[in-house]
Structure 1
Amino acid sequence: MADWAIPQPRWLSLHARIRRITGRHDAEDLLQAAFQRFLERDRSGVRNPDAYLVRSARNLAVDQARRERHGAVAPSDGADVESVHCPRPQPDEVLLARQRLQKLRAGCAQLDARTRDIFLLHRLEGLSYRDIAQRLDISVSAVEKHVSKAICFLTEWVMD
């Protein structure tokens, strides 16, 4: 399913568009979150994946701005925190998530060491592209390319 993997030039174009629209420094994070949403939903109704990704990233930026502006939502005075219902995932959802995680682990093992390390620094440790570039003494562009390469490869790997 290589048609859902985003080639590097298109990824950078989307990143630039999202950064321009949102004015946020974390545009790469917004794009990755939007891409993750895209992969997790039924894509049969999506006719223009690029437009979906841009709109989704914009919505994420708006949501984030609201959270930053208003802070965390506290329960009302009469609400009992213990009574808040937090539904558990269904067993089939857990099974599918575990299978997807196993595929991702296997896919990560197939990446070259440098790309895997950069991808994991960003996705698991939450480092920004700039922080990774400084830590590894490479350019931010090189970090973007490695993360994009990993995402494209892993997307194809998981979808097969």
Structure 2
Amino acid sequence: MELFGSDIDWRRVIRHIARVTRHREAEDLAHVAVVRTLERGGCDIANPEAFLVKAAVNQAWDEHRRAQHPAAPIPFDPATYFLRDPRPLPDEALEAQQRLARVREGLKELSPRAREIFLMHRFDGLKYAEIAERLAISVSAVEKHVARAMQFLAQWTEGY
């Protein structure tokens, strides 16, 4: 990569930054140094590698000093000032209630066996093998009942 008019040995620059700063994020420091230099229109630098190392070292020192200062300003995060109520909005709650009522209606339309198996799986949290063992049927039969029930309920609630 060519920067400031000469080729730079990036591995050597990053190793040097890591050695001088003992900073684990030497690549990040090098990147910040390059970006800041380019933002300021840095060109025609006599020794770009030394310049970047020095800029990265200065960046590491600045970060260290900021972190050590007892009155270090906390970065502004607008999200902390706009607290969101975790509860759903009234219209979202109404829609959810309507969907739930529709699902209840759909459950009544299922065969008793399919409804029982579906509720055991989805609401009681039982695995297919557990349901099959309790009802003395095959796991495949349980899978088919759950799949049919889910497909029916998906179609039943479509548009809600």
TM-score, length basis structure 1: 0.46
Larger Rg: 2
* Greater percentage in helix: 1
Q: Which is bigger in relative contact order (C-alpha 8 A, separation at least 6)?
A: 1
